[in-house]
């Protein structure tokens, strides 16, 4: 026999959907106020979250890729001929006349391993290439000045051609430079 609480779940879920729709139509309930959405000056409208920043263009900075030479062990694959014993079995007969025959053969193969043979030099990347833009009055807040943002090369070129303190808006890759 089914538990009564299991049988009531669809009805309760339907009631909750209707209740949530009604509260949403009335400009939001208490749950929306706690999360910061709905109500307020927007007339029940909350704008979607965007990662774009806007502000006044201050400066740009291009940091080229930085590399360094390093050395590491040069590993070489070395193989030696080797042998191993392989066990074979065969069964024949049935009932009381069942018989198992076992024999061994020697199999040749190459046993390989890596061995250090000197050293090799390589180029490692210490810092990737970066394009950065510095903004004042970030997102309309005068106290947020001189903030650096990492941007794409296309955004860097676009912003670099503008006058100082021109209004710009872009989507940064990261904060800082």
Mark whether 75 and 161 lie in a shared domain.
Answer: no
- 114-150 tens-digit pLDDT: 999 999 999 999 999 999 999 888 888 888 888 899 9
Q: Are residues 118 and 133 in the same domain?
A: no
> Is the same domain home to 74 and 120?
yes
State whether 133 and 102 are in the same domain.
no
As a whole number, the mean pLDDT across the chain is 81
Task: Give the mean model confidence (pLDDT) for residues 107-113.
Answer: 95
d(CA 80, CA 74): 19
Question: In this model, does residue 169 exceed pLDDT 80?
Answer: yes
Residue-range definition of the domain harbouring residue 148: 53-65+128-175
SS3 60: strand
Residue 169 placed within a domain: yes
Count of domains observed in the chain: 3
Separation of alpha carbons 40 and 29, rounded Å: 12
Give strand pairing partners of 55.
168
- Is the domain of 61 the same as that of 144? yes
Residue 47 lies in a domain: no
Are 13 and 100 in the same domain?
no
CA-wise closest residue to 128 among 57, 173, 65 = 65
Does residue 48 sit within a domain? no
Last residue of a domain, one of 124, 144, 163: 124
d(CA 66, CA 128): 7
104 falls within a domain: yes
């Amino acid at each position: 026999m089914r538990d009564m609480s299991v049988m009531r779940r669809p009805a309760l879920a339907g009631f909750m959907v209707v209740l949530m729709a009604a509260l949403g139509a009335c400009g939001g309930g208490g749950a929306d106020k706690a999360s910061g959405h709905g109500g307020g000056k927007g007339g029940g409208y909350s704008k979607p979250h965007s990662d774009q920043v806007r502000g006044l263009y201050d400066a740009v900075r291009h940091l080229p890729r930085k590399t360094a030479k390093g050395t590491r062990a040069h590993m070489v694959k070395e193989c030696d001929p080797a042998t191993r014993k392989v066990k074979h079995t065969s069964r024949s007969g049935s009932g009381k006349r069942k018989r198992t025959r076992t024999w061994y053969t020697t199999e040749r193969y190459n046993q390989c391993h890596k061995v250090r043979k000197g050293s090799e030099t390589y180029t490692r990347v210490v810092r990737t290439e970066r394009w950065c833009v510095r903004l004042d009055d970030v997102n309309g807040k005068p106290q947020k000045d001189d903030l650096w943002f990492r941007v794409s090369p296309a955004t860097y070129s676009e912003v670099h051609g503008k006058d100082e303190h021109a209004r710009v808006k872009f989507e940064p890759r990261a904060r800082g430079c």
